[in-house]
Chain A
C-alpha cells in the first residue's frame, strides 16, 4: 500500500505510540484488503464504551488505555490514549442507568460504561449512544468519506445520505479516530457503488411495515450485493428508509442501495447502474410478501405477549409521538411490558413534548443507549415478544431464546394493552 509522508511519520511514531499503533493496524488492514492507499476522513462512528467480560478484564489490568490499545488498536503496547484526532462518536452500547433494575442486566456493566463515558468524553468522543447517529447531529454530506460501523447506520449513510463508508469494526474505527485515515477500498470508490441487482415491487410499498418487509426480501435475495428498487413505491420518509436499510443488512449484508428518484446517487435508473447494463428485475409480489411475513413470524407460537419492543433502529421523534398518541388514556395489560428505544437527545425532546409522560403513565418505558439485542436482556420472565422491527424480530429470538411476533406499530401497541397478539397481514 502506498503511504503519504504524513502517514509514514505517524507510523514511525512522530505523533506518539497510540497513533503509531493505529497506523500500523491501518496498514495491516489495508494491505489485507488489497487497498492501494488510505483516504482522509473527519467523521468516525465506532464503539469503545460497550461493556463486555473481555473488556472488563483489560480495564482491571491496565485501565481504559489498555482496553483501547487491545480492542480498538489491536496493540499490546502500554500506550497513552491522546485526544481523538478527528470528530468521533460512540454508537449504541449497553443499557444505561435508565434501565437499571428493569432486567437482569448487571449493574456493574452500567457502572463500567459510565466510567468509560467519562474517560472517552475527555478524549473528544461524542457519546451519541445510538445506532442512528444521523438522527442526532452526525449527518455526513454527499461524497464525504467516513468510517462508520453499525450495519444499519452504514447502509443509511451510503444509500440515503450518499456518504462513503465500508462496514467498519471496533479496531478500524479506533485507528481512524486517532489518524483521520481509513483504507480507500470498497464503497469509497465510485465504481463499487453502482447497483448490481434490480428489484421490482409489484405490491404497494407505502408503510413502515411494508418498507421493512421489502427490505428483508431484498437482503435475502441479493446478500452482499448492491440492489436498486423500482415499482410501486410510495415516497418514503426517514423512518421508512431506516427500517428498510436495517432489514437489508439483517437478512443479507447490503451496504448500499439505490431508489431512482429518491436516493442521491440515483437520479435515474440508468445512473443507479452507472450507465452499465440493467438486469431483468426480480419481482416482489403477494407471494414474496407473504413469505417474508411468515418467516418473520415463524418464531411465534403463543399469542400471550409479555414484551413489546419498539425503536429498532432507534425510534425517530415521530415514532415516539405516535406511540404516545396510541397510548393516550390507556393502560398496559398487567404482565406486559412496552419499551421504546430512542437516542437520548430525542428522549429529551420527547420529555419536553410530553410524549414520555404519556407513555410512562400508560405503563410503558422510553429508554435510550441500547436495545435488548445489544444488551442481551429483556424484562425478567419474557417468553414471547412482539416488535415492529424486522431486524429485532430476526435477531432477538436467537439471542435470548424467546418467541417473536412481527407486525405494525399499531398491532404492537394493541398487544401491549390487551396482552394478546392479534396481528395479521392485510
Chain B
C-alpha cells in the first residue's frame, strides 16, 4: 500500500530515494557542511547526519540569507539531497530548492512531517506536486509486500 501526499511542485523532475525527516528547521550558514553534506548545528536533531542523496523532509529554512548559496554549493560539490519537501514557504528555502535543482514539493497535505518517516522510500514528483511513500521504513520490498497480501 502506498501513501500519497499532494502539494505544489516548485522545482520540476521526479526522483525516488530514502527519506530523511526532521522537525527542526535547517540553517544553511553555520548549519550545514557543504563538503560532506552533513548538518553541523550542535543543537539540531540531525547533528552529524548526512543528507546527500536523501529526500530531505523538513519544516523550512532558518538563519542567514546565505541559505540558497549553501545548498547550491552542495549541488556543485556533489553532496546535495535528492529532493526537498517542506511546508513553510520562504524566499530562502524556495530559492535554495531552485538553485539546488532537485525535485521539490511544498505545502503538501497531509503534513509530510506526520506521514513520512526517516528511511521510507519516497517518490517526489516536482511536476505534479505528488509525493508517494512507496515503501515504509523497515518493511520488505514493495513487490514482496504485494505477494504477501
Contact = CB atoms under 8 A, between A and B. Distances in A.
A33 B95 CA distance: 9
B98 A253 contact: no
A359 interface: no
B73 to A, nearest CB: 5
Interface string A50-75: 00111001100000000000110010
A149 B73 contact: no
Contacts of B99: 74, 169, 171
B65 interface: yes
Interface stretch (A24-32, A320-328, A413-421): A24-32
Interface string B58-95: 00011111111100110011000000000011111011
A53 B97 CA distance: 21
Given A74-B98, A154-B65, A395-B30, A167 B72 contact: no
Contacts of A224: 62, 88, 90
B72 A171 contact: yes
B30 A399 contact: yes
* A contact face: mostly helix, strand, loop, or mixed: helix
A189 to B, nearest CB: 13
B30 A169 contact: no
Nearest to B101: A74
A398 B40 contact: yes
Interface string B17-51: 00000000000011000110000111000000000
B77 A53 contact: yes
Interface residues of B, number: 35
A149 B65 contact: yes
A171 B92 CA distance: 11
B30 A29 contact: no
B11 interface: yes
B64 to A, nearest CB: 5
B96 to A, nearest CB: 7
Given A29-B98, A398-B40, A167 B91 contact: yes
Given A54-B77, A399-B30, A169 B65 contact: yes
Given A167-B92, A171-B98, A253 B63 contact: yes
A186 interface: yes
B131 interface: no
* B contact face: mostly helix, strand, loop, or mixed: mixed
B10 interface: yes
B30 A25 contact: no
Nearest to A91: B65
Given A54-B73, A253-B63, A399-B30, A169 B90 contact: no
B65 A151 contact: yes
Contacts of A171: 68-69, 72, 95, 98-99
Contacts of A149: 65-66
A210 interface: no
B90 A29 contact: no
Nearest to B91: A166
A373 B30 contact: yes
Nearest to A154: B65
A276 interface: no
A169 B91 contact: yes
A261 interface: no
A168 interface: yes
Contact of A170 (B40, B42, B68, B89): B68
Nearest to B9: A32
A337 interface: no
A167 B77 contact: no
B88 A57 contact: no
A36 to B, nearest CB: 15
Contacts of B64: 150-151
Contact of B73 (A25, A52, A154, A397): A52
Interface in A149-183: 149-151, 154, 166-172
A242 to B, nearest CB: 16
Given A33-B89, A74-B99, A253-B63, A170 B69 contact: yes
A32 B11 contact: yes
18 contacts: A29-B98, A33-B89, A52-B73, A54-B76, A71-B72, A74-B72, A149-B65, A151-B65, A168-B91, A169-B67, A169-B92, A170-B68, A224-B88, A252-B62, A253-B63, A373-B30, A397-B42, A398-B30
Given A29-B95, A169-B69, 8 more contacts: A32-B10, A33-B94, A54-B76, A57-B76, A74-B99, A170-B68, A171-B99, A395-B30
Interface of A: 25, 28-29, 31-34, 47, 52-54, 57-58, 70-71, 74, 149-151, 154, 166-172, 185-186, 223-224, 250, 252-253, 373, 395, 397-399
Top 7 A-B residue pairs of the complex, sorted by shortest distance between their CB atoms = A169-B68, A32-B10, A149-B65, A54-B76, A166-B91, A170-B69, A169-B95
